[in-house]
Amino acid sequence: MSGPNKNYDPVEVAALDPEAIDQAVASALAAASAATTLDELKALRAAHQGDRSPLALANREIGALPPSAKAEAGKRVGQARGRVGQAFTARQAELEAERDERILVEETLDLTVVDDARPIGARHPISLITERVEDIFVAMGWEIAEGPEVEAEWLNFDALNLGPDHPARQMQDTLFVAPEGSGLVLRTHTSPVQVRTMLDREPPIYVLCPGKVFRSDPLDATHTPVFHQFEGLVVDEGITMAHLKGSLDAFVARLFGEGTVTRLRPSYFPFTEPSAEIDVRCWICSGEDDNCRTCGGTGWIEVGGSGMVNRRVLSAAGIDPDRYTGFAFGLGIERSLMLRHGVADMHDIVEGDVRFSAQFGMEI
């Protein structure tokens, strides 16, 4: 800084030379408009407006001027600093506006985007296969019938030719509804819907009844205490065992695919005569593993029971057995699912893990 000098002419102080000041202003304005980011602008502002900038240094020289020169020099430097300050402030406002605009675009939240962080659920494969089975029979012209899960003992057993002392009553491990003697059970099969349907409707009858059933069976690879069956019942004039076989063959080909190997094995059910178990070739070992856990080494898995409706059952339901005959079958839905999809263990079906269900797709 120069010292006090009475004859001082501001024009002679280099820093206060009008041309030098104009140049400092021009260079500051150019720098301000050339800045492309706020950080760059901040650095340039320090260089052109800070304590060590040409205009700040010029400002300091004013103090040393004689009073007569101070006003003019002060006005010139003050205006120059004002223009520079305005230019930087205006450019800052522009850059801030650009930044805000950019942030709005870059950080826009699309609230319509599906949030896949939360896994979606899946319908249980038992529901899906039940609907498939229903579709197959409805396409053949059959109707869907329903009955309650808490059932009258009479319909679950007696009307099906299983009297109170009938040994076959022990074949199904029944869960009775309290109190003792209530006359109610958790239905052990869907067969009571046969009787309900025959009491409700006149032949010809072609119905399918899917539903939940209960037995005190322990949970293992092929058994569960709560499972599902679908019951088929046909009552019409002239119905024979051939109609039963034909209907089952058509159904099995549709659900499991052509070429599925099945067999009807003579058996006994009090409500059908003659009766047959429906077996399918083991879907895990195809009969080639004597130690197979799924079929127990027999090569066959029983999926249901069937037969011609016993004339005593027709009579109990008020249908003339001399005019009408019928067939019935009852298949396990869990076993059908295992067969269709090669599920080796019942535990997977009953445990309710969504990762198991999700493999079957999200059919609605």
348 touching ligand FA5, by CB under 6 A: no
Interface with ligand FA5 (CB under 6 A), residue from 217, 236, 273, 345: 217
Q: How far is the C-alpha of 23 from the C-alpha of 30, rounded, in Å?
A: 10
Q: Taking CB under 6 A as the rule, which mask of x and - marks residues 156-185 in contact with ligand FA5?
A: ----------------x-------------
Tell me the one-letter amino acid at 142.
W
Q: How far is the C-alpha of 87 from the C-alpha of 92, rounded, in Å?
A: 8
227 touching ligand FA5, by CB under 6 A: yes
Q: How far is the CB of 341 from ligand FA5 (least distance, A)?
A: 15
Are the CB atoms for 153 and 163 separated by under 8 Å?
A: no
By C-alpha distance, which of 187, 124, 144, 121 is closest to 334?
Answer: 124
Interface with ligand FA5 (CB under 6 A), residue from 189, 214, 230, 319: 189
Nearer to ligand FA5, 87 or 292 (CB): 292
Select from 19-27, 95-103, 174-182, 303-311 the region that touches ligand FA5 (CB under 6 A). 303-311
DSSP 3-state of 230: strand
Q: How far is the C-alpha of 300 from the C-alpha of 195, rounded, in Å?
A: 30
Q: Half-sphere exposure (CA, 13 Å, Cβ side) for 185? A: 22
Interface with ligand FA5 (CB under 6 A), residue from 88, 157, 230, 329: 329
Backbone angles phi, psi at 55, to 5 degrees: -70, -35
Q: How far is the CB of 328 from ligand FA5 (least distance, A)?
A: 4
Nearer to ligand FA5, 83 or 341 (CB): 341
Select from 23-31, 141-149, 219-227, 247-255 the region that touches ligand FA5 (CB under 6 A). 219-227
196 touching ligand FA5, by CB under 6 A: no
Select from 11-19, 162-170, 221-229, 241-249 the region that touches ligand FA5 (CB under 6 A). 221-229
Select from 5-13, 63-71, 215-223, 347-355 the region that touches ligand FA5 (CB under 6 A). 215-223
Q: How far is CA 5 from CA 10, 13, 15, 57, 66, in A?
A: 11, 11, 16, 18, 7
Q: How far is the C-alpha of 29 from the C-alpha of 48, rounded, in Å?
A: 9
Interface with ligand FA5 (CB under 6 A), residue from 187, 334, 348, 357: 334
Select from 30-38, 89-97, 120-128, 322-330 the region that touches ligand FA5 (CB under 6 A). 322-330
Q: How far is the C-alpha of 236 from the C-alpha of 244, rounded, in Å?
A: 12
Question: What letter would DSSP give residue 360?
Answer: T
Q: How far is the CB of 208 from ligand FA5 (least distance, A)?
A: 12
Q: Which residue is nearest to ligand FA5 (CB)?
A: 332
Interface with ligand FA5 (CB under 6 A), residue from 305, 338, 348, 349: 305
Three-state secondary structure readout of 152-181: EHHHHCHHHCCCCCCHHHHHCCCEECCCCC
Interface with ligand FA5 (CB under 6 A), residue from 81, 153, 215, 338: 215
Q: How far is the C-alpha of 246 from the C-alpha of 232, rounded, in Å?
A: 13
Interface with ligand FA5 (CB under 6 A), residue from 59, 130, 156, 306: 306
Total interface residues for ligand FA5 by CB under 6 A: 26
Interface with ligand FA5 (CB under 6 A), residue from 8, 269, 324, 360: 269
Farthest-apart Cα atoms in the chain, separation: 144
By C-alpha distance, which of 253, 352, 337, 266 is closest to 306?
Answer: 266
Binding site for ligand FA5 (CB under 6 A): 172, 189, 191, 215, 217, 223-224, 227, 229, 231, 269, 272, 275, 302-307, 328-332, 334-335
